[in-house]
Amino acid sequence: MHVYLNTRVSLFKSRLWPEAQVSELIDVSDAALPGLLERRGLRQLAGGYADDDPRSLEARIVAILLEETRILLRPLTGAARQFLLYWIGRFEVSNVKSLIRAKMAGESASATAARLLDLGYFTHLDADALMRAEDVAELMRRLERTTYAEIVRNARQAFEESHDPFILDATLDRAYYDGLIRRARAIEPEAGPGFGRLMADLIDRLNLVWLLRYRFNYGLPPAQVYYLLLTPGYRLVPSLLRTLVGHDDLAAVLAGLPEALARPLVGAAAIPEVSARLERVAMDHAGTLLDRDGHPLARALAYLILRESGLRDLRGILRGRRLGLPTGDIRLAAGV
C-alpha cells in the first residue's frame, strides 16, 4: 500500500499549478485558453469553459477530484479507506443540502436534478426517490434511512424546532465534520503528526470562521454559537471555545487565540481576511508535507487539499474571464 500510494501521489504532484502557470492562465488570449488548459492536463475544463451556467464548471472540477480520489483509494483498506471515502462524501452532503433547499422552496424535480452533482462511483443516494418525498419532513425521514443518517438526524431535529434554513445548513455542516474528526482520530496514531496537523489546520479554521460569522454576521447568542461549533476539536478546545463565543468583537476573539493561531492573524480586521490567512497557512503546511517522505495517507490528503484549492482558484479565474472582469481584478482575487 505504502509504495503504490506514495508513487501515485508523487506522480499526481506534477498536476499542481505553480504560481507562474496560474498567472499565465489570466493573461493568455481567449483563443489560446482551451489549448493551454488541455496541455496542463485539464482537458475536462478545456471544452465549454465559457458556459453561462457556473454549475457546469463546478461539476467539471468535482469530476476531476472524484477521479483522482478514486485512484488514490485503490490500495487503501480499513479505517484509512473509510476516512478518504468520508472525506470525498462532502460533495454528496452538498447534494443533500440542495435536495432539502429545493423541497423547502417547492422546486420541480427537473430543476432539482439539474443542480445536483453527478458523483458517479461515489453516489450513495437515490436522488429520484428522495425528490418524490411529499415535504421536507418526509425527505428528512428518508435521508435518515441512508448512509447519511448520522449527519441528518440532528439536522432534522434542529429544523423541526426552528424551521430556519440557516440553522439546518449549519447543523448539517457540524454533523459532517464531527464525523470526519472521529474518523481522523481513529487513524492519526498510524498516519502520523503531519496528518494530524492537516486536520488541525482544517478544523481550527472552520471553528474560528464559523464562530466569527455566527456571532458577528448573524448575531447568534453565545450558547447557540457554541452548539454549532466542532467541540471535539484540536487547538480550539471546548473550554477555550466557551470563552471565545462570549467576546463582543472580532479583535477580542483574536486576542484570545493560542499563539499558533494568533500569529498569522496579527492585524486582521475582517472575517474573510481571517479565513484567507489561515487557509494560506494550511496550504503551506500541506505543500511542505507533500514534499517530504511522510506517511502516504498524510501525503495523499495533502495532495487532495492542494489540488482542490488550486482547482477552485482556476475556477475563479475562468469565471472572472467569462464575466469580462479587468485582468488586474482577476489577478488580485487569485493572489498572483
pLDDT at residue 213 in the model: 97
CA–CA–CA angle 242, 178, 100 (5° rounding)? 110
SS3 of 81, please? Answer: helix
Q: What is the dihedral of CA 323, 328, 329, 332, to 10 degrees?
A: 130
Distance separating the N- and C-terminal Cα atoms of the chain: 37
* Chain centre distance of CA 43: 23
* CA–CA separation, 39 and 15 (whole Å): 11
> H/E element holding 144?
none
pLDDT at residue 20 in the model: 83
All three cell numbers of 38: 488541455
pTM for this predicted structure: 0.93
Each residue of 241-251: b (16+ CB within 10 Å) or e?
A: beebbbbeebe
All three cell numbers of 269: 480586521
CB < 8 Å & 24+ apart, contacts of 213-219: 213/271, 214/170, 215/245, 215/247, 215/253, 216/249, 216/250, 216/271, 217/271, 218/166
**Within 13 Å, how many C-alpha atoms sit on residue 103's CB side?**
22
* CA–CA separation, 222 and 211 (whole Å): 9
Ranges of the chain with pLDDT below 50: none
| Cα-trace Rg, the chain | 21
* CA–CA separation, 55 and 112 (whole Å): 13
SS3 of 36, please? Answer: helix
* CA–CA separation, 125 and 93 (whole Å): 10
The closest alpha carbon to 18, from 322, 287, 277, 278, belongs to 287
> H/E element holding 163?
none
**Within 13 Å, how many C-alpha atoms sit on residue 297's CB side?**
26
CA–CA–CA angle 254, 248, 264 (5° rounding)? 10
Q: What would the pLDDT profile of 185-216 be if each residue is shown by its tens digit?
A: 999 999 999 999 999 999 999 999 999 999 99
Q: Could you say which DSSP state residue 30 is in?
A: T
pLDDT at residue 79 in the model: 96
pLDDT at residue 277 in the model: 96
The answer to whether the CB of 23 falls within 8 A of the CB of 336 is yes
Q: What would the pLDDT profile of 116-175 be if each residue is shown by its tens digit?
A: 999 999 999 999 999 999 988 899 999 999 999 989 988 888 878 877 888 889 999 999
* CA–CA separation, 321 and 22 (whole Å): 13
**Conformational region of residue 20, where left means phi above 0, alpha means psi within -120 to 50, and beta covers everything else:** alpha
* CA–CA separation, 91 and 122 (whole Å): 9
All three cell numbers of 144: 435518515
